[in-house]
Amino acid sequence: MICNCFGVLNRCKGRTASAGQTHAQEIVRKDFRFFSYNTLRSATENFHPSTRIGRGGYGVVHRGILRDGTEVAIKSLSMESRQGTKEFITEVGMIINIRHPNLVQLIGCCVEENHRILVYEFVENNSLASSLLGSRKYINLDWPKRAAICLGTASGLAFLHEEAEPNIVHRDIKASNILLDGNFHPKIGDFGLAKLFPDNVTHVSTQVAGTMGYLAPEYALMGQLTKKADVYSFGILMLEIISGRRSSNAAFGQDFLGLVEWVWKLKEEDKLLDIVDPALKEFDKVEVLRFIKVALFCTQSASQQRPAMKQVVKMLSKEVHLNEKLLTEPGVYRWRNSRLCCDAGLEETSSSQVGKLNQSVNPSVTSTRLTDAGSMSEIIPR
pLDDT in tens, 146-200: 999 999 999 999 999 999 887 888 888 899 899 999 999 999 987 645 544 454 5
Structural domains in the chain, CATH included, are: 2-121 (3.30.200.20), 128-379 (1.10.510.10)
How large a percentage of the chain has pLDDT more than 70? Answer: 63
pLDDT of residue 241: 95
Alpha carbon distance 74, 40 (integer Å): 8
pLDDT of residue 116: 85
When pLDDT is averaged across residues 56-73 and rounded to a whole number, the result is 88
Q: Which residues contact 184 (CB under 8 A, 6 or more apart)?
A: 125, 139, 141, 145, 148, 149
Q: Is the pLDDT of residue 83 over 50?
A: yes
pLDDT of residue 48: 95
Least confidently predicted of 198-202, 223-227, 307-311: 198-202
Helical ranges in the chain per DSSP H: 2-19, 37-43, 85-95, 128, 143-158, 217-222, 227-243, 259-268, 285-298, 309-316, 338-342
Q: Are 55 and 61 in contact (CB under 8 A)?
A: yes
How large a percentage of the chain has pLDDT more than 90? Answer: 38
Bridge partners, 224 (sequence order) = 205
Q: Is the pLDDT of residue 349 over 70?
A: no
At residue 176, what is the residue type?
S
pLDDT of residue 6: 43
Least confidently predicted of 16-20, 204-208, 245-249: 16-20
Q: Are 333 and 208 in contact (CB under 8 A)?
A: no
334 phi, psi to nearest 5 deg: -115, 135
pLDDT of residue 362: 39
Neighbours of 173 (CB within 10 A): 27
* b (16+ CB within 10 A) / e for 11-40: ebbeeeeeeeeeebebbeeeebbbbbbebb
Alpha carbon distance 26, 31 (integer Å): 12
When pLDDT is averaged across residues 50-59 and rounded to a whole number, the result is 80
pLDDT of residue 335: 56
Confidence of residue 62 (pLDDT cuts 50, 70, 90): very high
Distances (CA, A) of 244 to 9, 241, 280, 377: 45, 5, 9, 27
Confidence of residue 247 (pLDDT cuts 50, 70, 90): confident
pLDDT of residue 88: 66
Confidence of residue 380 (pLDDT cuts 50, 70, 90): very low
When pLDDT is averaged across residues 335-359 and rounded to a whole number, the result is 36
pLDDT of residue 19: 33
pLDDT of residue 91: 65
Burial of 345 (0-12, 13-18, 19+ CB in 10 A): exposed
Alpha carbon distance 79, 89 (integer Å): 16
When pLDDT is averaged across residues 60-89 and rounded to a whole number, the result is 80
Closest to 179 in 3D by CA, of 305, 328, 90, 53: 53
Active site amino acids? 172
| pLDDT tens column, 88-103 | 666 676 677 788 999 9
More confident residue, 304 or 111: 304
Q: Any known ligand binding at 75?
A: yes
Q: Which residues contact 246 (CB under 8 A, 6 or more apart)?
A: 133, 175, 213, 240, 259, 346, 348
User: DSSP string covering 193-211, please?
Assistant: T-EEE-TT-S-EE----SB
Identify which of 26-30, 40-44, 130-134, 339-343 has the greatest average pLDDT. Answer: 40-44
